[in-house]
């Protein structure tokens, strides 16, 4: 028996899918903002000469990067309450994704820091700038330019990872798509539309970052 495509049902539920997408984006943005700040601090810790900074930082990054994110999501939502830390499902997921983002962004930033010549720091010191001023005015701006290309794929991965929130019933795009699928039985149509929404969003993120990269490019 043939399956005839019929998008009517999905079309009627489009608003629900878009709401899901909005929540997906919100989850990603908040987690990425937290992860960027903590990841930056962690990147400097990884590069520090002090063992009591670089050791714990390395342990953190290694552990988190070797855990499947779904395991982290389930652990935060189901196991942490047993240990007295109970969060709502959205808060729990954002915190988990932020923990994950921190580790990945720390690696990206560390790689970006690696290529900045020591001489620039010394030139800054020689003028009389403090290390904090050098970080803010020289190191971080250069590091961000270095990392934009690889940052793009990391941010897109983190956005896609929001679909795992469906596992704990956070009403983001994947969760809504599954709901519509169950209610309307339009299996193929629902997943085609949801997939297109993911692909379109990722393309927009990539385009925005490419535009930023061009804007920040150093003339030579």
Partner 1 sequence: MSSLLEIQGLHKRFGTTEVLKGVDCAVRQSEVVAIIGSSGSGKTTLLRCINMLEDFQAGRIVLDGEEIGYETRDGVRRRKSEKEIARQRALTGMAFQQFNLFPHLTAAENVMLGLVKLKRMSRDEARTLAMRWLDRVGLAERADHFPGQLSGGQQQRVAIARAIAMQPKLMLFDEVTSALDPELVGEVLQVIKGLAADGMTMMLVTHEMRFAHEVAGRVIFMNGGVIGEEGNPKKMFLAPQTERLAEFLKSSSFN
Given candidates 62, 141, 169, 210, which one binds partner 1 under the rule CB under 8 A?
Answer: 141
220 binds partner 1 (CB under 8 A): yes
Between the alpha carbon of residue 56 and those of residues 71, 87, 187, the distances in Å are: 22, 26, 47
Indicate the residue among 35 and 112 with the shorter CB distance to partner 1: 112
Q: Does 130 bind partner 1 (CB under 8 A)?
A: yes
Q: Which is nearer to partner 1, 2 or 117 (CB)?
A: 117
Question: Which of 79, 80, 209, 106 lies closest to 156 in space, CA to CA?
Answer: 209
Torsion-angle region of 128 (φ positive above 0: left; ψ -120 to 50: alpha; else: beta): left
Based on the shown chain and the rule CB under 8 A, indicate whether residue 114 belongs to the binding site for partner 1: no
Q: How far apart are CB 206 and partner 1 at their closest, in Å? A: 23
Q: Does 128 bind partner 1 (CB under 8 A)?
A: yes
SS3 78: helix
Determine if 68 is a binding residue for partner 1 (CB under 8 A): no
Q: Dihedral, CA atoms, 161, 204, 155, 217, nearest 10 degrees? A: 170
User: Should residue 115 be labelled a site residue for partner 1 when binding is judged by CB under 8 A?
Assistant: no
Part of the chain binding partner 1 (CB under 8 A), chosen from 21-29, 82-90, 99-107, 121-129: 121-129
Distance of closest approach, residue 116 Cβ to partner 1, in angstroms: 10
Number of residues this chain uses to bind partner 1 (CB under 8 A): 22
Q: CB of 38: closest distance to partner 1 in angstroms?
A: 24
**What are the CA-CA distances from residue 114 to residues 46, 146, 220 (Å)?**
11, 10, 22
Rounded to the nearest whole angstrom, what is the least distance from the CB of residue 219 to partner 1 in the complex?
Answer: 5
The CA-to-CA distance between both ends of the chain, in Å, stands at 63
Among 2, 68, 84, 119, binds partner 1 (CB under 8 A): 119
- Tokens 């030139």 identify what position? 123
Work out the number of other CB atoms within 10 angstroms of the CB of residue 48: 13
Nearest to 74 by CA among 215, 169, 178: 169
Which spans of this chain sit near partner 1 (rule: CB under 8 A)? 117, 119-120, 122-131, 133, 137-138, 141-142, 145, 218-220
């Amino acid at each position: 028996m043939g399956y005839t495509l019929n998008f009517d049902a999905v079309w009627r539920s489009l608003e629900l899918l878009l709401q899901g997408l909005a929540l997906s984006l919100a989850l990603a943005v908040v987690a990425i903002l937290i992860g960027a700040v903590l990841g930056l601090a962690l990147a400097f810790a990884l590069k520090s000469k002090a063992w009591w900074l670089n050791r714990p930082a390395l342990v953190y990054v290694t552990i988190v990067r070797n855990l499947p994110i779904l395991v982290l999501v389930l652990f935060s939502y189901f196991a942490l309450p047993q240990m007295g830390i109970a969060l709502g499902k959205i808060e729990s997921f954002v915190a988990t994704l932020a923990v994950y983002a921190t580790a990945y962004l720390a690696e990206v930033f560390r790689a970006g820091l690696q290529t900045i010549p020591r001489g620039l720091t010394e030139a800054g010191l020689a003028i009389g700038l403090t290390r904090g001023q050098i970080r803010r005015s020289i190191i971080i701006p250069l590091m961000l330019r270095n990392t934009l290309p690889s940052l793009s794929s990391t941010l897109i991965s983190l956005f896609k990872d929001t679909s795992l929130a469906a596992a704990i019933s956070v009403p983001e795009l994947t969760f809504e798509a599954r709901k519509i699928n169950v209610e309307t039985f339009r299996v193929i149509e629902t997943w085609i539309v949801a997939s297109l929404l993911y692909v379109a969003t990722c393309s927009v993120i990539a385009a925005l970052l490419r535009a930023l990269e061009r804007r920040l490019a150093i003339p030579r």
